[in-house]
Amino acid sequence: MILLRRLLGDVLRRQRQRQGRTLREVSSSARVSLGYLSEVERGQKEASSELLSSICDALDVRMSELMREVSDELALAELAESAASETVPAPMRRTVLNPVSVTSVTGVPEERVTIKAPAEAVDVVAA
């Protein structure tokens, strides 16, 4: 399961570390307790929009930039999660359309069924 609070915390931590700043510096500047900021960065606490605004101000990062990076991380996490859950390729959905009787080259009637696949039509001959 993808937790938004974890992704948000990861992005906040990376932003802080890119600037070479400590939790203490950012928590002081954002006027939030060091312990609470640490829990937000570790994805253990949900940050309110007011708290995010204070942290973004302290990091001198626009909230829209923060959310864009979180959105990108979320998209990647969703792709990774869906790829991991599809260890066996999903079966192709096929619809049987219009069974038709045809005569084979040997003169024996065969039933031919056209199966519509996603990209092409496939003829299946039943003997």
39 against 93, higher pLDDT: 39
Residue 2, pLDDT score: 84
CATH of 4-85, one of 3.40.190.10, 1.10.260.40, 3.40.50.720, 3.90.1150.10: 1.10.260.40
Q: Give the tens place of pLDDT for each residue, 21-34.
A: 999 999 999 999 99
Q: What pLDDT does 85 receive? A: 79
Distance of alpha carbon 63 from alpha carbon 25, whole angstroms: 19
Give the pLDDT of residue 44: 96
Q: Confidence class of residue 107 from pLDDT cuts 50, 70 and 90?
A: low
Note whether 51 and 32 are within 8 A (CB).
Answer: yes
Sorted by sequence, the CB contacts under 8 Å of residue 115 that are 6+ apart come out as: 94, 95, 96, 97, 121, 122, 123, 124
The confidence score (pLDDT) of residue 120 equals: 44
pTM of the model: 0.65
